[in-house]
Amino acid sequence: MKFAYADPPYLGLAKKTYGDVHPQAAEYDDPETHRVLIERLCNEYPDGWAMSCHTPSLRTILTLGPADVRVAAWCKPWAPFRPGVKTAHFAWEPIIYRGGRPFSERLHAHRDYTVTPMRLGKSRDSFGRGSKPVGLIQWILRDLLNANRDDEVDDLFPGSGGVAEAIRLWREQETLFEVPA
């Protein structure tokens, strides 16, 4: 099977976050660019795909794609708090996903949420601004898409190299139990 993960610049934050390093970043401040991306995901990855977005844009992003997408939650046990914000702080990010391999085993509970720490600073596995933690990518592959280690997984925004590293580590992991087909 063939899957994709997309972590585009977030709607409304693209130029602010990436304008200094990507000349085309501002294009992702336009919902139409996200609509085209979702259309591409649906057309090129009918087996399944996942896409990160941020909470303020979720309502808009969901109107741009098919009705059968699902929303999963990446919950962060700690998230930075912004001075002057007078509402609840965003401590989760939506992961929109579609398709995936049907689950056949009855022993495991696959959840549509994960509690995974975000990357901070210049740690050993930090790949730069906006990069996602290894555990998040592996949860998307394992619990949302039910990908196998020999499936093709494309990273549509490979800037930091973090997703490719997470996929490599996931492919190398040993399993405790092999479930017969």
Q: Which residues pair with 114 in a beta bridge?
A: 74
- At 89-147, the pLDDT tens digits run 889 999 999 999 998 876 667 899 999 998 765 544 444 556 789 999 999 999 999 99
Write down all domains in the chain, each with its CATH number in brackets: 2-172 (3.40.50.150)
State how far the Cα of 63 lies from the Cα of 114, in Å rounded to an integer.
24
Give the tens place of pLDDT for each residue, 9-19. Answer: 999 988 888 88
Per the confidence metrics, is the pTM higher than 0.85?
yes
Which sign does the torsion angle of CA 170, 71, 120, 79 carry?
negative
Q: Which amino acid is at 92?
A: W
User: What digits encode the pLDDT tens for the residues 47-104?
Assistant: 999 999 999 999 999 999 999 999 999 999 987 777 888 888 889 999 999 999 998 8
